[in-house]
Structure 1
Amino acid sequence: MNTKTSLPSAHAELTYDVIVLGSGAAGFAAAVTASCRGLKVLLVEKTEAFGGTSAISGGAVWLHDTDQARAAGHCLPAEQMRRYLKEVIGSGYNPQLIDAFIEHGREALRYLETQSELKYSLRPLSPDYYPDLPGGTQTGRALEIDEYDGRHLGEHFKDLKRPPDGMLLFGGMMVNRVDIQHFLSFKRSPKSLWHCLKLIGRYAVDRLNHPRGTRLTVGNALIARLATTALAKGVDLWLQATPEALIVEQGSVKGVQISRRGTTHSVLARGGVVLAMGGFAAGAQAAEQRPSTDSEHWSMSPPANVGDGQRLAASVNAAIGDNLSANFFWAPVSVLHKSDGSVERFPHLVTDRAKPGVIAVNRAGRRFVNESNSYHCFVEAMFANGGANAP
């Protein structure tokens, strides 16, 4: 695929102030910010549904000194965050980037919460992924997205990426961390029983008019909240539109060549092009770069994430990060082969893997990891143990 082309501005069919490629949280955050500042924005998504990986994620954010943390009395010093990140990142630690993240994270979140439907709450107890490292904490940094009514999206609700069936109850009902605890306790707690009955009742009503429940949680709620604002602000959303190449004039990116419904459009951007596309976790490149390649590569990343953003960036010699501790964010995934021949993937994140009584063993029946480790560390231990299936 050609990823760079030169095209005179006079040949452009459309012109926007900003073109955003990718409809995940990063893409919608950029689109919302630009549209709130009065700019004309085009948001491009190559699949038939918007939301990307973010729509099936936990939807949480991890930031220093947010308004939510301050309100709860968690006023952690910035130096504690720096120390923690130095320990985790190691040789790839970039002081300039880290300082920007620490100093402006609260500002960025506050802007989006003020200008859009976005709303986060502090997670009462959420240890850092490496809580035993210097600077680690038990709470104060992780925020979880508030649930959202998908009906606010109107006709666009049908285009929101649906989570995998394994993440839904009764064929289409979303639940969050609190809901799961209530469902586990409904037989012995009247309060939990009532909570569950209300959720089921709402879901039953939803199914009269919708293909799934409209009470959205986790990543679906995150995307729906941002999308509601973006669409209300006049952002144009193109689905099933593939960015083929960047339009370059005199060394500067001026727009994007986009294939949509069998037609190629040359779209210019007065202000710039934002590459917020999915990574490459679902492509051959990721499979080949794993520490262990003797087993099949199963990723929760959507199939469309095959590295388009990296290829476009490389076409204009964009800088690529290096000296990182890891180029991947690992999670253990189970695979269900259905009777119709389809395959469903399910990530073991926090609802089962790290619970008391769970013991992870390899094929020989030997325990090989601390089950309460973060899912990233868990998979690193799997690789160190031959994919956790070595005898």
Structure 2
Amino acid sequence: MNSGGSIHWDEEVDVLVFGAGAAGMTAALIAHHEGLDVLLCEKTDAVGGITSTSGGTTWVPGTQLSVDAGVPDSVDDARRFLQSVVGERGGDEAREAFLQSGPLAIDELQRISDVKFVAAAAHPDYVTGPGAAFGGRALAPLPFDARVLDKDFARVRPPRKEFMGLGGMMVNRSDLGALLSPFGSFSNFRRTVEVVGRYVIDRMRFPRGTQLVMGNALAARLFYSLRKRGVAVRFETPLVELVREQGRVTGAVVGSRDGKQRRIGARRGVVLATGGVTRHPALRKQLFPAAAQPLSLSPDTHTGDGVGSALAVDARLENGGDSPGLWMPCSIRRSPGGDDSVWPHIILDRAKPGLIAVNSRGERFVNESGSYHDFVMGMLRDDGHGPSVPAHLIVDADFIRDYGLGLLMPGRSRARVAAFERAGYLIKGDTLAALAAKLNVDAAGLARTVETYNRDAALGNDPAFGRGSSPMSRFNGDAAQKPNPCIRPLGKGPYYAVTVWPADLACSAGLSGNANGELLDVNGNVIPGLFACGNDLASIFRGTYPGPGTTLGPAIVFGWRVAKYMAGKLDDAASHSLTRKDACMNDLP
């Protein structure tokens, strides 16, 4: 909405934030901490967005947490690393701002809020290159006891149902082994009783388990911090349109559950953090490859409200560089009732020895142990024969026993394997030819592929794709497999397969902004009063995916930068860093 005169506001605040994911909640929290009057508007009835259903890992180089974890990281190393990964794709100023502000943002969140992280001692960057880190950059949110939220716990979006056990129990990765084999040892049994017992008690009072981990813990920690400080959070309040007066965005029109619209003024500015373009009906078709359009891991409500409203006031859209989306390969277990289960193949199976991925020609097309994003980039790559969509992960019976496959957890239960077969999720073939026929894959091509793979795998080699050659792939493999933790031959039949499809977990395409999160118009000029962070803002990595948490890291850091800038404290924060003992280590200005 463009206004030629003075607007009558139904309400007026300093800062108006749209979207209660990690980015929006960080911006609201820091703006309030700096003494600004803040209103956070959330379209749905719960906070969290894609953060709540994510792994929660947050990639921020050079923090004090890396020192505390015994794996000190430096911003200078990260700068060299990103230069090798992103190269000349642009966005240098924004990436430098991210590097400089990252340690400050994390340090302040740790000090003033209930947001707590720990740096992973071992969680390698996804790409090799100068300055790459094996640990220290990937920050994991600490588990959170959501009982302190009381009735507000219902306001935290649940994780994906596939990542919960017993209908609502979240499980730490460290507890997974005990729960999968509760009678394997006394310690396994004791830990299983502790975890399940806590969950049973929780369900007497709450709709799901209150021991939160991963992204759900991060979202809940941010929300709890907002609640403790009395920051106004208004649910079921979608952004309808932005209000612009004399070139400046001065507020917005919002909806409400009663169907009435209100005009809210924003003296310092409006912040867009609504989840990006992933489900915008027009932009998804315009930007995403056709093969990747059907499936998304983002919430259904991420319909691009922020991006669409900004484009209506002449904001500039970036296509995402190398890729408009950031991807995960996913398998789908169809349900007769329509409540399908979608499983992202992240770390539990693809890098393990004895699995190959093939396309319809029966040929391998990618390093199976690469990052989930790079795996899908391989699926979408057109080598003249069309993209490798869908693809099929093929294993033998021993692999199922040792590692599981997708939704099927490891073990020897024939009944469970048979149940997944009957559901059509797991495809079985007593021979490779039989499996190829069921998958509609070229049988001769598959036979050649397995013969070549097995010959090289017997020596621990993968000359075709270099599987097991990077620290990340070796870390996610099986250390007991020698000499290569990611490679062993496929044995005799029967063989099993699941089919995987590309799905976006976030977007790289988004609104064009500067280092302060101020949005730019189609001519490259700042739109006064309009800011963005999170997935609404184009990725600073330009379609590359450097390491674990490279969506949440910038989301939080730019949420922090936007709030500091709006409060006039961004320069003060940078100056303050010079007095801290770790300033030299982090190479801060």
RMSD (Å), alpha carbons: 2.1
Partner secondary structure for residue 263 of structure 2: strand
Alignment gaps of 5+ in structure 2? 382-386, 392-440, 443-589
Deviation at 1:287, TM superposition (A): 4.4
Q: Is the 8 A contact 1:63 1:105 kept in 2?
A: yes
Match of 2:287 among 280, 286, 289: 289
Measured in 2, the distance between the counterparts of 1:355 and 1:58 equals 20
In structure 2, what is the Cα distance between the partners aligned to 1:74 and 1:145? Answer: 17
| Structure 1 position 123, deviation (Å) | 1.3
Residues 147 and 298 (structure 1), Cα distance of their counterparts in 2 relative to 1, 3 Å cut: same
Q: CA deviation at 1:310?
A: 1.3
Is contact 1:368-1:388 (8 Å) kept?
Answer: no
Matched, 1:198 2:200: no
Q: Aligned pair in 2 of structure 1 residues 9, 54: CA closer, same or farther (>3 Å)?
A: farther
Measure how far apart 1:247 and its partner are: 1.3
Distance (Å, rounded) in 2 between the aligned partners of 1:56 and 1:205: 23
Whether 2:252 is the aligned partner of 1:256: answer: yes
Q: Which residue identity does 1:26 align to in structure 2?
A: A
Asked if the contact 1:247–1:253 (Cα under 8 Å) also holds between the matched residues in 2, the reply is yes
Look up the SS of the partner of 1:12 in the other structure.
coil
Q: SS of 2:261's equivalent?
A: strand
**1:185 deviation in Å?**
4.9
1:72 equivalenced with 2:74 (yes/no) = no
Judged with a 3 Å threshold, the aligned counterparts in structure 2 of structure 1 residues 222 and 331 are, in CA distance, closer, same or farther, namely same
Larger radius of gyration: 2
In the alignment, the residues of structure 1 paired with residue 292 and residue 247 of structure 2 have an alpha-carbon distance, to the nearest angstrom, of: 43
Q: Is the 8 A contact 1:86 1:93 kept in 2?
A: no
User: Would you say 1:95 and 2:92 are equivalent positions?
Assistant: yes
In structure 1, what is the Cα distance between the partners aligned to 2:220 and 2:107?
18
CA drift of 1:76 comes to 3.4
Shift of 1:323: 6.9
Determine the structure 1 residue equivalent to 2:172.
Answer: 176
How far 1:8 moved relative to its partner? Answer: 5.3
Tell me whether 329-338 or 263-272 shows the greater mean CA deviation: 329-338
The correspondence for 1:134, drawn from 130, 133, 140, is: 130
Q: 2:4, 2:246 within 8 Å by CA — same for their partners in 1?
A: no
Structure 1 counterpart of 2:79 = 82
Q: Is the 8 A contact 2:291 2:380 kept in 1?
A: no
**3-state SS in 1 of match to 2:250:** strand
CA distance 1:378–1:127, change in 2 (3 Å): same
Structure 2 counterpart of 1:110, from 87, 107, 111:
107
Equivalent AA in structure 1 for residue 268 of structure 2: G
Match of 1:91, SS?
coil
Q: Is the 8 A contact 1:258 1:265 kept in 2?
A: yes
Q: Is the CA contact 1:59–1:145 (under 8 Å) kept in the aligned structure 2?
A: yes
Greater mean deviation of Cα atoms: 117-126 or 363-372 = 363-372
Q: Quick one: percent identity of the two aligned structures?
A: 37
Q: Alpha-carbon deviation of 1:313?
A: 1.7
How far off its partner does 1:10 sit? 5.3
Q: Which residue of 2 aligns with 1:153?
A: 149
Matched, 1:373 2:375: no
What aligned pairs does 1:226-305 form with structure 2 within 5 A after superposition? 226-261=222-257, 262-284=259-281, 285-291=283-289, 293-294=290-291, 297-305=294-302
| Distance in 2 (alpha carbons) for counterparts of 1:174 and 1:334 | 21
How much has 1:210 moved relative to structure 2?
Answer: 0.9
When normalised by structure 1's length, the TM-score is 0.92
- Shift of residue 189 of structure 1? 3.7
Matched, 1:332 2:329: yes
1:196 offset after TM fit, Å?
2.2
The whole-number CA distance in structure 2 between the counterparts of 1:369 and 1:227 is: 40
Q: 1:232 to 1:78 in 2, by over 3 A?
A: closer
Q: Distance in 2 between matches of 1:148 and 1:359?
A: 37
Please tell me whether the aligned partners of residues 90 and 325 of structure 1 are also in contact (alpha carbons under 8 angstroms).
Answer: no
Please tell me whether residue 386 in structure 1 is matched to residue 407 in structure 2. no
How many angstroms does 1:231 deviate by? 1.7
Aligned to 1:354: 351
Residue 94 of structure 1, CA deviation = 3.0
- Between 1:35-44 and 1:334-343, the stretch displaced more is 334-343
1:364 offset after TM fit, Å?
4.6
